[in-house]
Copies of this chain bind each other. A is one copy, B any other.
C-alpha cells in the first residue's frame, strides 16, 4: 500500500527529484495528458529534466500542449504516474518503466495504492485540479501554456462543466486558469465543438435505426458491422454514441446494440437513476454499474432484441 501524501509532502518530494518521468494511462485522455504536460512544463521551469511516457500515441488534437515524449533520453530518477487508476492501465508497452512508481497523483477513489507515495483527492473532478493545487502550493507561475494544459484536463473530464463531478472548486480553478491566460475559446472549439466526419456518419446510422419502446421509456439503436466499417469511424466515435438513446427526453433506458466483427452483439445499457442497468444486463450474462452496464448476445438480431426488451420491461416494472 502507498504512503498517503498531502499536497505539501508530495510537493517536497517532487522538488527534490530530477530526471522526472511522467507516465500517463494508456488510451490517453485530456486529463492524463493535460496533467502530465502541466507538470512537465512546471518541472522544466524549475530547471529539471522531465519527459512524458504513454503506451499509446498522444492524439494530434493535443499537440498545442507542446509536451516532450520520453524516448530513453535520460535514465529516470523519479517516476510519477498521473491520473492512472491502476497498474493495468499503464499498458504493456511501457512495462519496463512502471514496475516501481515513486509518486501517483490521481482523483479516482478506487486507486489501490500501487505507488510508493499517493496524492489522491477523490472529490477532484479531474487530476488536473490536484496538479493545479500542487503548482499553486509550489508558487510556480501558471503560464498561459500550463493554464491551457490544466484547462484541458478539467474541461475534458467534466464534459465542459456539465457532468455531475463538476464542483464549485472546478469552476473556481477554471476562472483562475482563464485569468492566467488559458485560450479557452480555441480550446473549447477544438475539444467540444468539433465532430469528426466518422462520428457524424455513425450518428446518422444510429438515428436511422432509432426505435422507441414502452411508450418512449426505452430507446434502442443498432449498428451492424458493415455500417460501422462504411462509416470510417474510430473506436472513440462509436463509444460516444452509447449516450445518445438515453439522452432523449422521456427515455429511462437507452440501449445501443453493436454487431461485432465476429457477428455477436455487444450491448450497452444506460439508464436514469431509478432504473437498474446492471440488473437488466445481469440476466443476460453481463453486468456493470447501476446506470451503465453491458452484455454480449449471440444469435440473431431479432432474438437479441426480444431478450433485451423482456429484461427492460421487467426493470421498468420494478421501478
Binding site for B on A (CB under 8 A): 160-164, 166-169, 171-172, 174-176, 178-179, 184-185, 188, 192-197, 200, 203-204, 207-208, 210, 212, 216, 243, 247-250
- Please name all residues of chain B whose beta carbon is closer than 8 Å to the beta carbon of A174 when the two chains form the complex: 161, 168, 171
- Please name all residues of chain B whose beta carbon is closer than 8 Å to the beta carbon of A163 when the two chains form the complex: 188
Flag if A162 contacts B178 (CB, 8 Å): no
Flag if B178 contacts A175 (CB, 8 Å): no
Flag if B207 contacts A162 (CB, 8 Å): no
Bound-complex Cα distance A190 to B255 (A): 20
- Please name all residues of chain B whose beta carbon is closer than 8 Å to the beta carbon of A175 when the two chains form the complex: 168-169, 171-172, 175
Bound-complex Cα distance A179 to B171 (A): 11
Flag if B166 contacts A197 (CB, 8 Å): no
Copies in the complex: 2
Bound-complex Cα distance A250 to B192 (A): 14
Bound-complex Cα distance A119 to B176 (A): 27
Smallest Cβ distance from A240 to chain B, in angstroms? Answer: 13
Flag if A248 contacts B162 (CB, 8 Å): no
Flag if A200 contacts B210 (CB, 8 Å): yes
- Please name all residues of chain B whose beta carbon is closer than 8 Å to the beta carbon of A210 when the two chains form the complex: 200, 204
* New A-B contacts (13) at CB < 8 Å, excluding given A163-B188, A164-B185, A171-B178: A161-B174, A162-B193, A168-B178, A171-B171, A171-B172, A172-B175, A175-B175, A193-B243, A197-B216, A197-B250, A200-B210, A204-B204, A204-B208
Flag if B207 contacts A203 (CB, 8 Å): yes
Flag if B247 contacts A195 (CB, 8 Å): yes
Chain B residue nearest to A161 in the complex (CB): B161
Smallest Cβ distance from A242 to chain B, in angstroms? Answer: 13
Q: Which of B160, B164, B166, B216 contacts A162 (CB 8 A)?
A: B160
